[in-house]
Amino acid sequence: MAAYEKLVKQYDRQVFRIANHIVQNREDAEDVVQDAFLKAYQKLNQFQGNSKFYTWLVRIAVNESLMRLRKRRTGKMVSIDEDVETEEGSMPRDLADWSPDPEALYGQSEMADILRRTIQGLPPGFRVVFVLRDVDGLSTEETAETLGLSIPAVKSRLLRARLQLRERLSRYFKRRDLKPAQAQDGVK
Amino acid sequence: MTCTEFLAQLDEMLDQDAAIPLRADLEEHLRCCEHCEITLSTTRKTIQIYRSHEIYELPEDLRERLHKAILAKCRKC
């Protein structure tokens, strides 16, 4: 049990983060953390050891989060593929450059609020790919394995997630000294 | 190379995965296209900002409560 406690302490913050990104509700995320660690403990003998413990745990947490969403939506099926067929983000529209130090424009809690609201606007299947690849630092292959997606699907979602986030953050971070016409001109 | 073609390879630039001949083409496009240069730099900044801010903080008191609950449930099973 002491060894498992060590694993809980090592990965609890990441699991809490992933759960929050999917369920977007703190109480549900707390439940997901508990259920995911309990389920992982019960299934420890099924852990093959050919993937990292963390990717195996995240797979359990993602499934628990989706189940939680389903419950909230009274049984409606929820999948990681939901709403991914959007065309938004395939071509940048807001081409204004950003302020040289956008983080200095806002206080820490205001910044966290902006980042939360911005990423919450993305479909869950984009959010979770972005978080696993770009925030948690998993490889494309690990992200694909964790989410049960193909590598091309992970790559395509990651690109669109990055571009959509960039586009949405531009509202907050763009340089104020450029006129829109100057910034929008000249796409080939 | 057009902006659309550059954009399709944006991840290769961001993740520094591009093979050398492709990288040379991408860099050449960047030298003459301010818009793609801005798209690349602001997308890079987007990733860096999300990486450096924890937006779902797990407070220490909640963390302890969760640990206790998890371990109690594990002991029971």
Say yes or no to pLDDT of B26 above 70: yes
Taking only Cα atoms into account, the Rg of chain B, rounded to an integer number of angstroms, comes to 22
Q: Scanning the structure block, which residue is given the tokens 């296209």?
A: B33
Distance CA A24, CA A119 (A): 10
B59, B54, B66: which is closest to A37 by C-alpha?
Answer: B66
Cα angle value A90/A94/A97 (rounded, 5°):
120
The shortest CB-CB distance from B58 to any of A13, A134, A186 is to A13
Classified by CATH at the fold level, domain A102-184 comes out as: Arc Repressor Mutant, subunit A (1.10.10)
- Higher-confidence residue of A65 and A95: namely A65
Mean pLDDT of B47-52: 96
Q: Kindly report, residue by residue over A71-116, the tens digit of the pLDDT.
A: 887 655 556 665 555 555 566 776 788 988 998 999 999 999 999 9
What pLDDT score was predicted for residue A87? 54
Report ipTM (2 d.p.): 0.89
Angle, nearest 10°, between helix axes B34-52 and A108-120? Answer: 110
Q: Are A81 and A125 in contact (CB under 8 A)?
A: yes
- CATH code of A2-72, in short, is 1.10.1740.10
Work out the average pLDDT over A163-170.
Answer: 94
Give the chain B residue whose CA is nearest to the CA of A155: B11
Distance from CA of B27 to the nearest CA of A (A): 16
Instruction: Tell which wins on pLDDT, A137 or A188.
Output: A137
**Percent of residues, chain A, with pLDDT higher than 90:** 61
Mean pLDDT over B40-56 rounds to 95
Q: What is the pLDDT of residue A186?
A: 47
Percentage of chain A modeled with pLDDT above 70: 82
pLDDT tens for A30-50 read: 999 999 999 999 999 888 777
Radius of gyration of chain A (CA): 19
Domain limits, chain A: 2-72, 102-184
- A187: nearest CB among B3, B73, B77: B3
Whether A92 sits inside 8 A of B45 (CB atoms) is no
- Closest C-alpha among B27, B6, B57 to residue A17: B57
